[in-house]
């Protein structure tokens, strides 16, 4: 895939400057943000089906705790499946759980794989006619009412997913879909979220650079790579490993602490190898200095071990991982957390 930097900047700027885009408040509010679930028909070509129980668990938690739900695009996989197929499989499970939030607590943004939500009746709403059509973006205001966040799917400016998306969709639906189950069976194909992402390597740098230059907090999905405050999980693992190495080299460090640090370093290196194997060891958004906390990515719902999403809760923003291991309690882990006032003042 390739990213058109000029087109990306143009489209993001147009959305940011569009005064018709809905603005939501963050003060005394709670939001759960999900993207890239890619719901299918429940068959072998449906990459989401393994995480159905996990998403239901997450949705129940957020609903019971009075969160509002933001769906950040590519919730359905329309490049491979028709709406009636997806509804037949998930209407009584995922869609029903979403509807439990209530129409006024749900916000949907369309992505490149579910662009159709510009027009049809939407099964996530109990009154779909009233909520007909999905926007391309949302905005969030800070505690003082100043617009600070731009939320969109993130396909804007991508050659295959935006500019020439009709070609990509034709190839996926007409050629790849019939052979995907066989390719998976013989080990010839894994979903990009579980293997190497197909998103261009400079994608994060382009999105980050726009957010930094416009002093905007950008939250998106699309790449299937979770990013928090402009750093990937892999980048943060590297930082932690470096910190532990420096600690061991410091003077007057007790031997037991050195031993504990070495053990922790080995654990972190194992996690880092896993991130590299899955193609999530991205190039840093900043090469010279520490990156500014202006770019966030919710990841996706297709990881083999669970789902990532972003929470905005009163004064905090969080990157959360929901585990599909039912024996692991609690079912979620907060990977990263930061105070919003620090983000606002980047």
E strand segments, the chain: 23-25, 30-34, 68-71, 106-108, 137-141, 147-152, 217-220, 227-228, 231-232, 295-297, 306-313, 316-323, 332-339
Write out pLDDT tens, residues 223-232: 999 999 999 8
Whether 121 and 225 share a structural domain: yes
Mean pLDDT value across residues 191-197 = 39
What does the pLDDT average to over 183-209?
A: 60
- Classified as helix, coil or strand, 194 is coil
Residue 174 and residue 69 share a domain: yes
Identify the CA nearest to 194 among candidates 305, 323, 45: 305
CATH value at residue 218:
3.60.21
Are both 171 and 116 inside the same structural domain?
yes
Average pLDDT on 254-269 reads 89
**Looking at residue 85, what is its pLDDT?**
95
* pLDDT for residue 130: 67
Average pLDDT, the chain: 86
Query: What share of the chain in percent tops pLDDT 90?
Result: 59
Q: Is the pLDDT of residue 191 over 50?
A: no
- Closest residue by Cα to residue 196 from 306, 278, 281: 278
Asked which of 282, 304, 321 is the last residue of a domain, the reply is 282
Domain count for the chain, please give it: 2
> Given this model, what pLDDT does residue 200 score?
63
Token pair belonging to 92: 């009584």
Answer yes or no: do 125 and 183 share one domain.
yes
Q: What is the pLDDT of residue 288?
A: 81
Q: pLDDT (tens digit, 9 = 90+) per residue, 2-49?
A: 788 999 999 999 999 999 999 999 999 999 999 999 999 999 889 999
For the entire predicted model, the pTM comes to 0.85
Q: Do residues 145 and 177 share a domain?
A: yes
Q: Cβ distance 7 to 157 under 8 Å?
A: yes
pLDDT number for residue 148: 96
* Residue position matching structure tokens 């159709």: 116
Residues 239, 138, single domain; the answer is no
* pLDDT surpasses 70 at 242: yes
Residue 120: pLDDT above 80?
no
In this prediction, residue 199 carries a pLDDT of 66
What is the Cα–Cα distance from 122 to 124, expressed in whole angstroms? 6
Q: What is the pLDDT of residue 202?
A: 86
List, for residues 67-83, the tens digit of each pLDDT value. Answer: 999 999 999 998 899 99
Same domain membership, residue 258 and residue 118: no
* 161 has a pLDDT exceeding 70: no
**Judgement on whether residues 272 and 151 belong to the same structural domain of the protein:** no
Task: Give pLDDT, residue 301.
Answer: 94
- Looking at residue 187, its pLDDT comes to 44
Last residue of a domain, one of 242, 259, 282: 282
| Helix/strand/coil for 115 | helix
| Residue 250 confidence (pLDDT) | 84
**20: nearest Cα among 114, 102, 112, 138:** 138
Residue 160 and residue 31 share a domain = yes
Whether 95 and 157 map to the same domain: the answer is: yes
What is the span of the domain harbouring residue 278? 232-282
pLDDT 10s digits, 310-334 = 999 988 999 999 998 888 889 999 9
- Co-location of 244 and 335 in the same domain: no
pLDDT for res 178: 56
Highest mean pLDDT among 44-53, 163-172, 232-241: 44-53
**Residue 180, pLDDT above cutoff 70:** no
Both 213 and 340 in one domain: the answer is yes
Q: Are the C-beta atoms of residues 292 and 346 closer than 8 Å to each other?
A: yes
- pLDDT greater than 60 at residue 173: no
Q: Which two tokens stand for residue 342?
A: 């620090």
pLDDT on residue 41: 96
């Amino acid at each position: 895939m390739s990213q058109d930097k000029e087109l990306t900047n143009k489209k993001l700027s147009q959305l940011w400057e569009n005064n018709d885009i809905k603005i939501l408040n963050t003060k005394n509010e709670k939001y759960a943000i999900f993207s890239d679930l890619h719901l299918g028909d429940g068959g072998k070509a449906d990459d989401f089906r393994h995480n159905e129980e996990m998403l239901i668990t997450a949705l129940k938690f957020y609903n019971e705790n009075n969160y509002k739900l933001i769906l950040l695009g590519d919730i359905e996989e329309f490049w491979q499946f028709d709406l009636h197929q997806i509804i037949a499989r998930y209407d009584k499970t995922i869609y029903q759980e979403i509807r439990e939030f209530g129409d006024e607590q749900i916000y949907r943004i369309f992505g490149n794989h579910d662009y159709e939500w510009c027009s049809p009746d939407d099964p996530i709403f109990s009154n779909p006619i009233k909520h007909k059509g999905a926007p391309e973006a949302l905005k969030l205001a800070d505690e003082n009412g100043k617009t600070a966040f731009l939320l969109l799917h993130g396909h804007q400016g991508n050659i295959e997913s935006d500019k020439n998306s009709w070609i990509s969709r034709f190839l996926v639906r007409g050629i790849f879909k019939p052979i995907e189950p066989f390719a998976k069976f013989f080990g010839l194909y894994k979903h990009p979220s579980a293997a190497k992402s197909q998103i261009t390597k400079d994608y994060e740098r382009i999105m980050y650079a726009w957010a930094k230059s416009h002093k905007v907090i950008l939250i998106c999905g699309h790449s299937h790579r979770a990013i928090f405050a402009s750093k990937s999980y892999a980048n943060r693992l590297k930082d932690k490993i470096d910190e532990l190495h420096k600690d061991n080299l410091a003077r007057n460090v007790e031997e037991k602490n050195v031993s504990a640090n070495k053990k922790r370093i080995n654990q972190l290196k194992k996690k880092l190898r896993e991130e590299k194997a899955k193609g999530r060891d991205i190039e840093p958004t900043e090469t010279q200095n520490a990156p500014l906390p202006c770019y966030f990515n919710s990841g996706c719902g297709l990881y083999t071990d669970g789902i990532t999403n972003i929470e905005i809760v009163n004064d905090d923003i969080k990157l959360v991982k929901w585990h599909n291991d039912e024996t692991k309690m609690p079912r979620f882990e907060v990977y990263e957390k930061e105070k919003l006032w620090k983000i606002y003042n980047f």
